[in-house]
């Protein structure tokens, strides 16, 4: 199923795309998605009208440059990969919703007030690559803009997933104007790790997929959604650039379900607490609780 055992890795930061190259692995190869590149789904096809109304594009605020994908999960919440936003500031990015085309001005932009990365991101390497983006306004839902439900059930061998994104169509290629889609097959953790030469970079929090050589995710698809039975199962993380016959690795949504629910329910804060808190604050809270 997979040719070769030597491998090096490169994050899928900037989008899924299908690649045709099948060069021999080299020590200098990197894993997509490397940030600050622009590639997309390789070997896919243009998405049918109405497909993936949850798909969003993360863009630079001033230039409007697409660099990652993501999905709507609530009226003010976007989910994506941590490597997409690790170097970003909330006030420097914007979110495009409600369109399959990046440049036709039919979608709507929303702006960001908070970015919450998983506290264990990249520790160990390539693990916990998931993040949540909070918007400063409420998304207006319509036929072109809808949230996607989160998957909580385990996948079975052979399950087919739908990958969407604006990643480059080939390694180093151009970003497509129209949203791309590709059907990929779920690969078990054991099979995926074996295909990657038993590398620890394939973590228990990853969900792997495969398609034949010349098809798969690529730069620009990073953070983008994978869906099964209309539920979000994964977010594009990394793979060998691009579509070279090895399984791609994605953040497993069911594995991170507690993290997602905790953050979106407001049970955490990314604000730094004061270094010298009021010594009476804790007592005051206890009094209020007792009074109730």
Q: Which residues are catalytic?
A: 83, 129, 222
As a whole number of angstroms, the distance between CA 74 and CA 134 comes to 10
Residues 169, 250 contacting (CB under 8 angstroms): no
């Amino acid at each position: 199923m997979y040719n070769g055992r030597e491998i090096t890795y490169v994050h899928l930061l900037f989008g899924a795309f299908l690649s045709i190259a099948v060069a021999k692995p080299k020590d200098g190869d990197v894993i997509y998605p490397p940030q600050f590149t622009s590639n997309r789904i390789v070997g896919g096809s243009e998405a049918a009208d109405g497909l993936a109304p949850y798909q969003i594009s993360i863009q630079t605020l001033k230039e409007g440059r697409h660099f990652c994908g993501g999905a709507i999960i609530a009226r003010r919440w976007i989910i994506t990969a941590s490597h997409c936003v690790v170097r970003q500031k909330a006030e420097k990015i914007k979110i495009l919703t409600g369109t399959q085309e990046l440049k036709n001005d039919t979608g709507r932009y929303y702006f960001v007030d908070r970015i919450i990365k998983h506290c264990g991101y990249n520790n160990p390497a390539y693990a916990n690559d998931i993040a949540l983006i909070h918007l400063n306004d409420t998304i207006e839902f319509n036929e072109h803009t809808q949230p996607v439900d989160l998957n909580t059930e385990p996948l079975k061998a052979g399950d087919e997933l739908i990958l969407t994104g604006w990643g480059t169509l080939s390694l180093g290629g151009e970003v497509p104007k129209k949203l791309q889609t590709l059907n990929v097959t779920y690969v078990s953790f054991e099979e995926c790790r074996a295909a990657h030469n038993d590398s620890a970079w394939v973590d228990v929090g990853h969900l792997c997929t495969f398609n034949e050589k010349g098809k798969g995710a690529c730069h620009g698809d990073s953070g983008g959604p994978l869906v099964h039975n209309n539920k979000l199962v994964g977010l594009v993380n990394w793979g060998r650039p691009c579509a070279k016959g090895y399984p791609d690795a994605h953040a497993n949504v069911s594995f991170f379900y507690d993290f997602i629910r905790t953050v979106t329910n407001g049970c955490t804060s990314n604000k730094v607490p004061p270094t010298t808190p009021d010594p009476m604050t804790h007592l005051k809270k206890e009094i209020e609780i007792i009074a109730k």
